[in-house]
Structure 1
Amino acid sequence: MLGSFSISHRVARSSEELSGKRQMNRERAPRCWSFVCESNSSSRSARRLLPAVFLLSLLATICSCAARDHAIAEQEGNRIRAEKVSQVERFRSEELISPSDPVESRDRSTSSIEVPEILDLDSAITIATKYSRSFQSQRESLFLSALSLGLTRRDFLRPVFDGTASFNASDGDDQDFQDVTALSLGGSQLLFTGGSISLNTNSSLATSDDPVAASQTSNASFSVSVNQPLLRGAGRDIAFESLTQAERNLLYQARSFELFRQDFVISITEKYFGLISQQKQLANTNENIVGQRFAWEQAKALFRLGRGNSLDVFRAEQALLEAQSSALDSEQAFHLAIDQFKVDLGLPIDVEFILQDDFPEVTFFEMDLDGAVEAALHNRLDLRTTRDQLEDAER
């Protein structure tokens, strides 16, 4: 009886302990389930935020670079703007004139161009090629064309790179959350054979909370492609046609500038010797005035002595007045020509100089007709340009 009681007591106690443990498990189950749900929810939220955090950091880096470039550009623009504004303010504070001020009180700025006191032909040509507005305009136009050719060469001889980044996310009550982050980089280079080589790399990261599929999947690819025409479009001449034409256009413009330079020097020389001729004519008119004045005085003296008549005095006086009028016209024309010559040289009007009135010695040389024609056909730059343009049209 004692043994049976003990066994039944242990069995009853065991059943009571088992029922107590079951009750405790039932109480712990909701808490464990809520912890698991919270863990899954937090991990899912973390998975959702991971691509977004990556893209945000990438955008922050790009924005920081763009902000730095923008700050540098803004600083440079402010510096240039301040420089020009200071010039305007300095003009308004120091160089403004009042309408009531007399003309003599106006300060005229002195020229910084060094001009010799006696101007010869070599000095005139040197000054003109340095300060003439038309010559500087032609030279700057040639320089800009050279810069344009440099950009064209860079586009042909350097590789071209590009890249894209994207982020797509979708979520809703009737679908699972999914986001895709993609990055693509590529570059291409034109080959001398007329073909091209391209490099491309792509990578993507997809995140989803689909219980069936994987939570994260990644994909990366790299490709190299070579495109080489075999018949039509093959060869360097066809592939680099635009670069070749740009090279030829710059050569044509350089020849045009050389022709302009020659014509410019000839024009300055003609105007220089034209001024010398006018200067000598002005000297001759002044000497004519002296002679006509002497004749008028002589006619008056003879009239007082009774050896002449009043008509001779009148004619001598009329000739003197005509000589003086001619001298005034010649002097005015000479000063106008001098001012125009200063403008052609790029000098201010208030610059003063004296022309050296020595004519060069004339040198004679012999040339036969056949030699002159052969030299012209070979040396003329405009003819060479026309020939090259004909080749361009045939090409």
Structure 2
Amino acid sequence: MDHRHPGQCNLCRKRLLRVLPIAILFGAAGAIVGCRSPEQHRRKADEVGSKIVAEKQTEAIGRTEPFSIERPSDILRRKLVEGQDLPYSSPASLGTDRLDPIPHWPDLDDRPQGVSDGPDMAVVPNKPVKLSLIDALQVGAGNNREYQSFKEDVFRAALSLDLTRNDFRNIFRAQADSRLSTDTTGDETVTTLDSGGTLGLTRNFMNGLSISSAVAVDLLNVLTQGGSSSLGLSSDTSVSIPLLRGAGRHIVSEPLTQAERNVIYAIWEFERYKRTFAVRIAQDYFGVLQDMDSVTNARDNYRSAITSARWTRRRADAGRITQVEVDQALQRELGARNSWIRTQEQLKNRLDSFKSQLGLPPDALIELDPNDLVQLRTQSDEIVKEMRETSDAGSEEAPPADAEVVLQPATYEDAGPYEIDASRAIQLALENRRDLQVANGDVYDAQRRVVVRADALRAGLTLGGEARFADTDDDGSLRFEGGRYAALLSLDLPVERTAERNAFRNSLIDLERATRSVQQLEDQIKLSIRGQLRTLLESRESIKINAQQVVVAEKRVRSATLFLEAGRAQIRDLLEAQDALLLAQNQLTAAVVNYRIAELQLQRDLGLLEVNEKGLWQEYSPEEIAYDR
């Protein structure tokens, strides 16, 4: 430093002290941005998204429950692929954390955190994994790809809301520029280097007021302590607020309002999907068990057909029956074998389809717990047992042939707990269906869009202002009294509004469509509820009818066998009785399954079947429903 010019040195010190806070601020901004890694950004996004989801869960469903879109590394699909040595095409089959890194991949923690909420199942090579219905519900929630996509839709809606909220926050920006220029137009070549930086702040308010402020500094002039007496500091501030078109909180905050509601809708849609998914899993699960029962019945029928064919041959060899009857028995044996094979393959196909529905590989070794069907059959087994005892005790005396025929219609005697009055059921559905709430929300959204489109037809009147200050003093301080000020009043007359006019008319059409969608959904709900109640009634009556058919068919088989041995019946009588028994057994199982599925579907369509984050349901208590049958 040149001590021969102390005044200049003092001025330099003052200038450096004044610019030091700005330099520190630039450095801090650069450090914050430069030091935050992609993984930190990812964690921040997860934190913000999860917080918004929890906030909106309370508003949408009145409770909060754990929510995460990270798939654990120990999901059953991966355990089956690795534990049972199943073939797969690439590491993508095992998950994103198993992918081979590509060039320039950001430094992320790719391994999913935590463990699965599903059942802890050990996977042993060449040994099937056994699933109960409860296990299947949890496995489906953790492995089904569509289920995961619905969860991600909720999270995406939360991030979209965060971005929209950001429009009404303080937005800071920092930028530094350097420009090297060469001028060869004069007698001498002049090369200059300009370096500067800008710190800015922007804020939008709900009433439409927008404020933008920036401070710029000539960094090269500061660092080189150039001959200029000023530091090159300048400040620009601008303000604008709409007075006509675009004015008002309801117009300015419309994107935020819609983003808030979109998260609610996404949660409602996910809740509706969870219920539909759980019922579909139960339906497919019992469908597999029903096929397993059909295989058992077909196997027993095949054995009885073999026994009948052998007995027929012995009787034919003794000359007691004709060859035609032998051929009939042999034909039934072949048909029974074909039916047994067909039901076995049908069971395999249905089981593979069910595994795929759960999100598991179709070639994985999986078996289902038949005890779930045994529990459903308890009521029907009791009915069969009572009818057998009644049949063994002797039948009632038959009425005269010319007696009046009285038909027996279906009644609500011994009705199940969910067979409620149709009008009460419809009212419950209209109050609780999440998809109907979304549809009604769409109507309100469409109404708000009409308001926004109508506002766009008005004239535009914007009030604005600008202020600029610069360091023109020798000490480098900003002189506010020497600033430049400007005020602006901009008027946009509604002379050309073709696009806005068409958008307004389309918004009215959208409102009509949204209204019709509500009407259509209401009718679909009523149709579904009434149909489910009829299915319950039909299935309950079918259980009793088919239980009686089983008893009658069993009696026919015993009687035909005895009469055939006594030579008082033909082999065809026995074969027909055995076929009738097989059909009655299968129909009884189908009726039991249909009734249980109809109960679950009714609760789903009423919007009363609750499903938690693990995929497990909680059925609605019928005692809470007040109705008059």
Give the TM-score range, shorter chain.
0.5 to 0.7
Does the residue aligned with 2:235 lie in a helix, a strand or coil? strand
Aligned mates of 1:198, 1:167 — CA distance in 2:
25
Question: What are the equivalent positions in structure 2 for 1:201-220 lying under 5 Å apart?
Answer: 201-204=215-218, 216-218=228-230, 219-220=232-233
Alignment partner, residue 367 of structure 2: 353
CA-to-aligned-CA distance 1:67-102 (integer Å, 9 cap, x gap): x959x88xxxxxxx9985489xxxxxxxxxxxxxxx
- Cα drift, residue 130 of structure 1: 0.9
Corresponding residue for residue 125 of structure 1: 137
C-alpha distance in structure 1 between counterparts of 2:197 and 2:269, whole Å: 51
Q: Structure 1 stretches of 5 or more lacking a match?
A: 1-57, 74-80, 88-109, 208-213
Deviates more, 1:355-364 or 1:177-186: 177-186
Q: Quick check: 1:150 aligned with 2:162? A: yes
Greater CA drift, 184-193 or 227-236: 227-236
Q: Residue 156 of structure 1: SS of its match in structure 2?
A: coil
> Within 1, Cα distance between the matches of 2:354 and 2:98?
34
Question: Structure 1 residues 160, 184: closer, same or farther in 2, change over 3 A?
Answer: closer
How does 1:323-338 map onto structure 2 within 5 Å?
323-338=336-351
Determine the structure 2 residue equivalent to 1:302.
315
Is residue 206–residue 217 contact of structure 1 (8 Å, CA) maintained in 2?
no
State the AA in 2 paired with 1:151: L
Q: Structure 1 stretch 278-287 or stretch 196-205: which is displaced more?
A: 196-205
Report the 3-state secondary structure (helix = DSSP H, G, I; strand = E; otherwise coil) of the residue aligned with 1:157. coil
Query: Would the alpha carbon gap of residues 181 and 303 (structure 1) be closer, same or farther in structure 2, given more than 3 Å must change?
Result: closer
Q: Quick one: which amino acid aligns to residue 350 of structure 2?
A: A
Q: Provide closer, same or farther for how the CA distance between residues 235 and 161 of structure 1 changes in structure 2, counting only shifts above 3 A.
A: farther
2:187 aligns with 173
Which whole-Å CA distance do the structure 2 matches of 1:353 and 1:199 have between them?
A: 68
Query: Which residue in the other structure is 2:213 paired with?
Result: 199
Aligned equivalents of 1:84 and 1:281: distance in 2?
44
What is the rounded CA distance, in whole Å, between the counterparts of 1:247 and 1:125 in structure 2?
31
Amino acid aligned to 2:205: L
Confirm whether residue 138 of structure 1 aligns to residue 147 of structure 2.
no
* Aligned partner of residue 343 in structure 2, secondary structure: helix
CA distance in 1, matches of 2:233, 2:433: 63
Displacement of 1:313 in angstroms is 1.6
1:1-395 aligned at under 5 Å gives the runs 84-85=99-100, 118-163=130-175, 165=177, 172-173=186-187, 182-204=196-218, 216-218=228-230, 219-348=232-361, 349-356=363-370, 357-360=373-376, 363-395=416-448
Q: Deviations over 1:96-116 (max 9, x none)?
A: xxxxxxxxxxxxxx9599x99
Match of 1:358, SS state, is helix
Measure, in 2, the Cα distance between the counterparts of 1:353 and 1:293: 29
Residue-by-residue CA offset, 1:208-260 (whole Å, 9 max, x unaligned): xxxxxx95242533354443444543343322221221222222222222222
Distance apart, 1:299 and its partner CA: 0.8
Q: Which residue of 2 aligns with 1:107?
A: none
**CA distance in 2: counterparts of 1:290 and 1:296, whole angstroms:** 10
Q: CA deviation at 1:311?
A: 2.0
Query: C-alpha displacement at 1:177, in angstroms?
Result: 9.2
> C-alpha distance in 2, partners of 1:251/1:82?
31
* TM-score, normalised via structure 1 length: 0.64
The CA deviation at 1:369 is 3.7
- Quote the offset at 1:391 in angstroms: 1.3
Post-superposition CA distance 1:122-159 (Å, at most 9, x none): 11111111111221222223323322332332343242
Match of 2:541 in 1: none
TM-superposed CA distance for 1:185, in Å, is 2.8
Change (3 A) 1:307 1:153: same
- Higher helix fraction: Structure 1 or Structure 2? 1
C-alpha distance in 2, partners of 1:217/1:331? Answer: 96
SS of aligned partner of 1:269: helix
Distance 1:175 1:216, change over 3 A: farther
User: In structure 1, how many angstroms separate the alpha carbons of the residues matched to 2:422 and 2:229?
Assistant: 87
Name the CA distance, whole Å, in 2 between partners of 1:307 and 1:256. 71
Tell me how far 1:328 sits from its aligned partner. Answer: 0.5
* Distance in 2 (alpha carbons) for counterparts of 1:157 and 1:138: 29
| CA distances 1:144-179 after superposition (whole Å, capped 9, x unpaired) | 332233233234324242445455767643899988
Alpha carbon RMSD of aligned pairs, Å?
A: 4.2
| 2:180–2:191 contact (8 Å) kept in structure 1 | no
Distance, in Å, in 2 between the alignment partners of 1:236 and 1:199 is 23
Q: Report SS of the residue matched to 1:161.
A: strand
CA distance in 1, matches of 2:131, 2:179: 75
1:264-295 CA-to-partner distances (Å, cap 9, x unmatched) read 11111111111121111111111111111111
Count of residue pairs brought into register by the alignment: 302
CA contact (8 A) 1:187 1:198 kept: yes
CA distance in structure 1 between the aligned counterparts of 2:190 and 2:360, rounded to whole angstroms: 81
Contact kept? 1:205, 1:216, Cα under 8 Å: no
**2 CA distance for matches of 1:351 and 1:130?**
18
Q: 1:358 to 1:223 in 2, by over 3 A?
A: same
Per the alignment, in what secondary structure is the counterpart of residue 374 of structure 2? coil
AA at the equivalent of 1:289:
Y
Q: Quick check: 1:163–1:185 contact (8 Å CA) kept in 2?
A: yes
Structure 2 length as normaliser, TM-score?
0.42
Deviation for aligned residue 1:119: 2.6
CA distance 1:83–1:198, change in 2 (3 Å): same
Q: State the shift of 1:383 in Å.
A: 1.7
User: Secondary structure, in 3 states, of the residue corresponding to 2:152?
Assistant: helix
Cα distance, 1:215–1:307 mapped onto 2, change above 3 Å: closer
SS in 2 for 1:326: helix
Partners of 1:296 and 1:320 lie apart in 2 by 7
Using the alignment, how far apart are the partners of 1:253 and 1:200 within structure 2? 39
Query: Is the partner of 2:420 in helix, strand or coil?
Result: coil
Partner of 2:452: none
Displacement of 1:117: 5.2
Contact preservation (8 Å) 1:146, 1:250: yes
Contact 1:296 1:320 in 2 (8 A): yes
Q: Is the 8 A contact 1:206 1:216 kept in 2?
A: no
Report the secondary structure of 2:284's partner residue. Answer: helix
CA distance in 1 between partners of 2:442 and 2:135 (Å): 38
Indicate how the Cα distance of structure 1 residues 317 and 186 shifts in structure 2: closer, same or farther if over 3 A, else same: same
